[in-house]
Amino acid sequence: MLRFLVKYYGCINRMNKTKVLFCFFFFTAFTSVPGQAIPDSTGISLGYPVYSQYLQNGLLINPAYAGTRGSLSAFLSYRMQWMGISDAPVFQTVSLNAPMKNNKVGLGIMAQFMKFGFTKSQSIYASYAYHIKLGKGKLSLGLKGGFDRSNTDYTGILTTTKNDPVFSSNDKPYLLPNVGAGVYYFSDQFFAGASIPSFLNYKKNISTSSVEPHHSIKEYDVIFSAGGLITFSQVFKFKPSVLIDYSLEKTKKLTQLDINANFILGDLIWLGGSYRTSEEVVVGILQVQLNPQFMFGFSYDYPVGRMNSYSKGSSEIILRYEFGYKVSAANPRYF
């Protein structure tokens, strides 16, 4: 009996240490020591892809989403941005996330492939989330780490000077490691989250032609998202939500505001719309939940602002399949 108690206490003690260590790393990630300024340099930013169906895969915007759907969730997406414009951006995404056996830990991995103009970039990030029971829902704390890679092929550019040496070779590929963090709360009727996609920024040192990281809280982008579920009947539900991308830089501030509305018909058809202020686009979304495991979605962004004269809009296709689905058809997951 004594041996059992000693072993039990040791397990509990190790578990508490794990919790303390995770919380320590999670909260200190937001207050990392700033790096020194890099003289004679220019900033490098790959930017963040703009998606219209991120609500069906929160891992796109928040690492704390990992494992919150209660099953191994596989997600694929393909997006064509600003159709009608030559060499406009094309985004492809594949991700997996799942809870572990105790449902307290979620793991995820996401890869993105982007092509715009003469530039190609890839990114891969792994996510870790710890879930805490809180009231009628759960609070999830998440961290992610990975890297972005980008290179530009200048040889494809048509120049006025034949064999211009400036454009005679490819740009040296950049490998940019980074980390991010997020917090996410969800229940059967409500969700809310906040995340910082990346803590590090990069600058190219012109003197050495090298890329060097630096850290500044003033350059953070913070993404807020929230929404709820209003049930009118078993066959008609309404899911409003909002997303805010806010920059701490003095010159940017509000970089994206999405106002979303989804009507769920018989838990089969998801008919929705959004208005995105940053791009001045109206988004139409049609998603079909063919069974409790498989969802197909299509969205079209129609520009109503100045891009209307140049672009035919943007389109996006998603596929989501969930293995080992635990939630019954009578009580599906909406977040």
The residues, any chain, with a CB within 8 Å of residue 74's CB and separated by 6 or more, are 94, 95, 96, 320, 321, 322, 323
Q: pLDDT tens across 157-209, in order?
A: 666 767 666 565 556 788 899 999 999 999 999 999 999 999 998 887 777 66
**Closest residue by Cα to residue 143 from 16, 30, 56:** 30
Structurally, what CATH architecture does the domain formed by 41-323 represent? Beta Barrel (2.40)
Please write down the long-range contacts of 283-291, taking CB distance under 8 Å and 24 or more positions apart.
283/52, 285/52, 285/53, 287/53, 287/56, 287/318, 289/332
Confidence of residue 18 (pLDDT cuts 50, 70, 90): very low
pLDDT tens, position by position, 93-114: 999 999 998 889 999 999 999 9
Residue extents of the structural domains in the chain: 1-31, 41-323
Cα(221)–Cα(279) distance, integer angstroms: 17
At 165 the pLDDT is: 62
Q: Which two tokens stand for residue 271?
A: 């008919």
- Summarised one tens digit per residue, pLDDT across range 104-153 is 999 999 999 999 888 889 999 999 999 999 999 999 999 999 999 988 77
Of 157-161, 273-277, 317-321, which range is least confident? 157-161
List the one residue out of 294, 212, 178 whose CA is nearest residue 40. Answer: 212
Instruction: Note the pTM of the prediction, 2 decimals.
Output: 0.82
How many Cα atoms sit within 13 Å of 7 on the Cβ side? 4
